[in-house]
Structure 1
Amino acid sequence: MKILIAEDDDRLRKNIVHMIKREIHQVEAVDNGQDALDYAQYNEYDLLILDWMMPKLSGIDVCKEVRKRGYTGGILMLTARDDTADIIQGLDIGADDYLVKPVKMEELLARVRALLRRKDKPIEQVIQVEGFLLQLDSRILLRNNEAIELTKKEFLLLEYLFINKGRVLTRDQISLHIWGYDQDISNNALDALVKLVRKKIDENKRKSIIQNVRGIGYKLRDSYV
């Protein structure tokens, strides 16, 4: 996924770029609205994250203009304005979601994931791996057409692995997706969660579909036999 971030606060912009890159997305960043508009015109982005108040052009102006030019990807507004009328204005001119500052990184990442899961984005809504079918919108996992009951964190683990099937994900990336930015999570907590999920989904297979990559993290196994 390719994401453009337009935010004039240097520290916040760098933090957002860092966190989203850890989610394995391509990220470009600018510090003013005019650059955001120019970048959006000549590049294809799955999501724009726009600060409401920026030099040269406001985020609202950028949002309105890119929609006029045919941009159909997601738009997330960052704003210090929490007045209902302002929020409605942003949504009415084409924003998909908004987040009021100060920004909590785990909430920002959750909003980004939600926007990238929308059905007009290239992330599959139903992901099939071997005998498993993961339905992202309804948060249901089927194994051979039988539903497996999962907790929220168990689903988030599988969601991240299925979306990134074929990739090795680090422990930090997985923990961030499940518990968020501000949580201090030990390796034992992640290992315990993986163990619980394996117990639910692997039946009597010799190998788990969740493969441990020593010293790095986890991935979905290429061949589940």
Structure 2
Amino acid sequence: MRILLAEDELQLSNVYKAAISHQGYEVDTAYNGQEAVDLAAKNAYDVMIMDIMMPIKTGLEALREIRATGDQTHVIMLTAMAEIDDRVNGLDAGADDYLTKPISLKELLARLRSLERRVEVAFTQNLLEHGKVKLNVSEQELSANNSIRLAGKETKLMSFFMLNKGKQLSTADIYKHVWAGDEDSDERLVYIYVSYLRQKLQAIQADLTIEGEEDGDFTLVQIQKED
């Protein structure tokens, strides 16, 4: 899993990062709320761990801004305060879970392992929309001016793109999310399936396209109409 850790206390950040990285997870760090917003806008994360009390923007302000973009990433808030109001504010801002400082590293790692087992939660939304394009996940149907059926992996790949619209997604990251656990497959499948989706987006006259080249990064972008 790829994790965003937003913690302004350098020593604590280093301790958390070392413990999480030791479990084999990839960790990006932010030291204020604005850095967290910027990284979330750029990268696809499986989990965000965010301290409430941070400079420039608080964790709550950063989380509200991230959620406003449609980002559905699972968020664990860290708070030094045990008051119920603080927990309620975090949940109202879009947090999924919280831990009270001083946190137990064992508990944090246990929650991350639990989330890793439930990585498919990222694809639980049944209807995804961007621009004039709609994806019905359960029906595996992509529609705009008309509709077309998708194969299973095409649906999963399109879901990943729509949940991370506008972000640069690496070939390796896409492969890990879409083909996780599949044997007898490799990263070459990514470009093949991106090509399939490009054709189907054109077929339904979508206002979306997938930018990027083979073995590189790919981004789902909205096509701008010419004046």
Cα deviations across residues 145-169 of structure 1 (Å, max 9, x unaligned)? xxxxxxxxxxxxxxxxxx9899xxx
Residue of structure 2 in register with 1:66 after alignment: 66
CA distance in 2, matches of 1:83, 1:99: 12
The one-letter code sitting in structure 2 at the alignment partner of 1:16 is Y
CA distance in 1, matches of 2:86, 2:97: 12
Residue of structure 2 in register with 1:89 after alignment: 89
> Cα distance, 1:63 vs. partner?
1.0
Give ranges in structure 1 of 5+ residues lacking alignment.
123-162, 167-225
CA distance in 1, matches of 2:181, 2:11: 29
8 Å CA contact 1:74, 1:116 repeated in 2: no
Identify if the C-alpha distance between structure 1 residues 66 and 116 changes in structure 2 by more than 3 Å, giving closer, same or farther.
farther
CA distance in 2, matches of 1:106, 1:66: 27
How many residues were matched structurally?
Answer: 126
The one-letter code sitting in structure 2 at the alignment partner of 1:120 is V
Residue of structure 1 in register with 2:10 after alignment: 10
Residue of structure 2 in register with 1:120 after alignment: 121
CA distance in 2, matches of 1:82, 1:76: 15
Give ranges in structure 2 of 5+ residues lacking alignment.
124-179, 184-227
Determine if the alignment matches structure 1 residue 37 to structure 2 residue 37.
Answer: yes
Equivalent runs, 1:45-194 vs 2, <5 Å:
45-118=45-118, 119-121=120-122
> Cα distance, 1:59 vs. partner?
0.6
8 Å CA contact 2:72, 2:122 repeated in 1: no
CA distance in 1, matches of 2:116, 2:97: 12
> Cα distance, 1:69 vs. partner?
0.4
> Cα distance, 1:114 vs. partner?
2.6
User: Aligned residues: percent identity?
Assistant: 41
Q: Name the TM-score, length of structure 1 as normaliser.
A: 0.52
CA distance in 1, matches of 2:122, 2:52: 24
Residue of structure 1 in register with 2:28 after alignment: 28
CA distance in 2, matches of 1:75, 1:6: 11
RMSD across aligned C-alpha pairs, in angstroms?
2.0
